[in-house]
Amino acid sequence: MKARKEEIDQLDPVLVAVIHARMDGIIREMVQTVLRTSRNPILYSAKDFSCSILTHDAKLLTMADSIPIHLMSMGHALPAVVECFKEDLHPGDCFLNNDPYSGNSHVGDHTMFAPVFYEGELICWVSTLCHLIDAGGARPSSTDPLSIDVFEEGIHFPSIRVVREYEEVSEMVRFFKVNFRYPERWYGDFLAQIGSLRRAETEIVKLCKKYGAEVIKRFQNEFTSYGDRRMREEISKLPKGAWQTDALSEKIEPWCPKGIPLKVKMSIDPEKAEICFDLREMPDNLPWGRNLSEATSKGACIQATMACLDPTLPSNDGVFKHFKFLLREGAVVGIPKWPASTSAATIGIADHISNLIFELWERVEPGRGHASSGYLAACGASTSGIDFRTNQAYGHIHFLAVSGGGASLGYDGWPNFFAPAIQGCMFLDSVELTELAIPETIWELGIVTDSGGAGKWRGGVATFFRIQPRSKAIYGIPKAYGHTARIFGVKGGRNGSNARHWLEKHPTMEKVEELKNSGEFLVNPDSYWIAQASGGGGYGNPFERNPEAVREDVQNNLVSEELARNVYAVILKRGLEFNLFEVDYMATKQLRYKSRKKSKGGVRK
């Protein structure tokens, strides 16, 4: 039954909650559609995509089960579509924008939008952003840090129509298939995106039939206003002030062998209900693909801050409009200057900015921030080759081993955090699905013992893999970070471990070559590729960690006996039955006493 006019003028809060829950349910149905119908393993196995619903006037309404770095991309990329097509919008249309100079994140993220109409009226927009395996660039990758400009990184589509009134635009499909590697895989992913948009459209039309179009449009205003009120209330509790921090980026040869200086300033004004980020002191754009786009420069700040605020805040424009940015054109973090490449804009430096902001929030209010998380290391390299089973080219991005998250007050870091850009919102690749999709044997996956930064609360541990090509060589492009960059702890917590990757001879496991964090590498069938991610930073003094927690960590191979003794000052002895170890409390008490005295300037005689 449709709502009466008085119900439309002021929606019942319960109805607002019901419609919001249904909207998020629709987004999860969109997610399941992509998971079950796409052909790209980083979509159906690792879930490197996000879905959202946007308002009729192109503002972000809600996201669910989505990746943090995509927060700003979907709301930034749609206005460019609307500006291009204005009134030329029809039921059944789908539009694509993968252009970082038109609001998108980076060239590899294909963001597709569809308008939803009911009885001839535009009700809202639905969107699916998918990271595709190839972007038609100079090298087989869609995240290529080697790209020196936009012409090398891949093909930009700054707001184009790919479906008109439920029919594919055939000339565009032909264009994609000719210019993208792995055309059949691309086409399957293309159909999966369209399918997810159609699923959302069908369900939103049902909502309009049930409640009326005016109620659904009024809900959009109510829910974004709710986000506005919640964010004002949240900021009103924060102290007024300004904070800043800086660090050197990853050292990458030959582009920045000493790292580049990163400086972040943050200010909070509770009266204006504003959180402002000043990034104007960032270095100039560099001639390589690690420059950030405007969307990811803002997203790096927001994704970190949202992890330090009330987790029940909605992800919509009502919340995000309280963030203000001071950006400089032509900066590596800011607004890129054409034709600077932003191919790897979603990771690396963006994650580093987020980690610096985690630290700033710890200064704002102890316990609100986090230690640094690990980064997307060489484990996530883009790889390609020829599949001997089909004699056809293939490409892949590995998500078999990932980094740990930073610890926070009262909590150890997550072991499969990935990086601040992801925050655990992707899946680890399935071994079986990966081996079916690409001609590689995955011999080993495991935990990197002692990789999580020590602390009262321990950083998340890193993982590693051992891979061997089955017949032909693997060509790799690492877009790695966290191999040299400091992964800091806070409040006395220790740093997380850095990442690395190398080659070993098969089957002797003799080390052949230590690989770099950028450039190119080749893995021949007679070699193993071993890559380990980075661990998260610790929080608080390691001497204050519960000895039983240390015992459990040692028993689970997260921490070694040596580190337990030398860093946590916990003495273990062999246990009985199910417990491999027991805490020697008397010896531990004595060692911790001596260790504290030593850390304060020497043990008294």
Same domain for 592 and 487: no
Residue 500 lies in a domain: yes
Same domain for 570 and 526: no
> pLDDT of 91-118, one tens digit each?
999 999 999 999 999 999 999 999 999 9
Same domain for 570 and 533: no
Same domain for 170 and 89: yes
Residue whose structure tokens are 């929606």: 11
> pLDDT of 468-481, one tens digit each?
999 999 999 999 99
Same domain for 114 and 10: yes
Same domain for 508 and 426: yes
Q: Is the pLDDT of residue 561 over 50?
A: yes
Same domain for 591 and 499: no
Q: Which DSSP letter does residue 315 get?
A: -
Distance between CA atoms of residues 532 and 378, nearest Å: 8
Residue 276 lies in a domain: no
Same domain for 507 and 378: yes
> pLDDT of 165-193, one tens digit each?
999 999 999 999 999 999 999 999 999 99
> pLDDT of 378-388, one tens digit each?
999 999 999 99
Residue 29 lies in a domain: yes
Structural domain harbouring 121: 5-228
pLDDT for position 600: 65
> pLDDT of 369-420, one tens digit each?
999 999 999 999 999 999 999 999 999 999 999 999 999 999 999 999 999 9
Residue 242 lies in a domain: no
Which of 228, 255, 289 is the last residue before a domain boundary?
228
pLDDT band at 598 (very low <50, low <70, confident <90, very high): confident
Residue 91 lies in a domain: yes
Q: Is the pLDDT of residue 200 over 90?
A: yes
- H-type alpha helices, 504-584: 547-555, 561-566
Distance between CA atoms of residues 77 and 81, nearest Å: 7
> pLDDT of 422-465, one tens digit each?
999 999 999 999 999 999 999 999 999 999 999 999 999 999 99
Same domain for 433 and 582: no
Determine if the pTM surpasses 0.85. yes
pLDDT for position 356: 98
Q: Nearest to residue 491, comparing CAs of 411, 409, 546, 565? A: 409
Distance between CA atoms of residues 92 and 522, nearest Å: 45
Total domain count, the chain = 3
Residue 191 lies in a domain: yes
Order of strands, edge to edge, in the sheet holding 241-248?
241-248, 261-269, 274-278, 323-326
Residue 313 lies in a domain: no
DSSP E strands in 165-306: the ranges are 167-168, 241-248, 261-269, 274-278
Q: Nearest to residue 504, comparing CAs of 478, 485, 531? A: 531
pLDDT for position 122: 98
Preceding omega of 311 cis (within 30 degrees of 0): no
Which of 228, 252, 271 is the last residue before a domain boundary?
228
DSSP E strands in 167-291: the ranges are 167-168, 241-248, 261-269, 274-278
Same domain for 175 and 34: yes
Residue 415 lies in a domain: yes
Same domain for 573 and 531: no
Same domain for 571 and 510: no
Average pLDDT rounded to a whole number, residues 43-61: 96
Structure tokens at 447: 């935990």
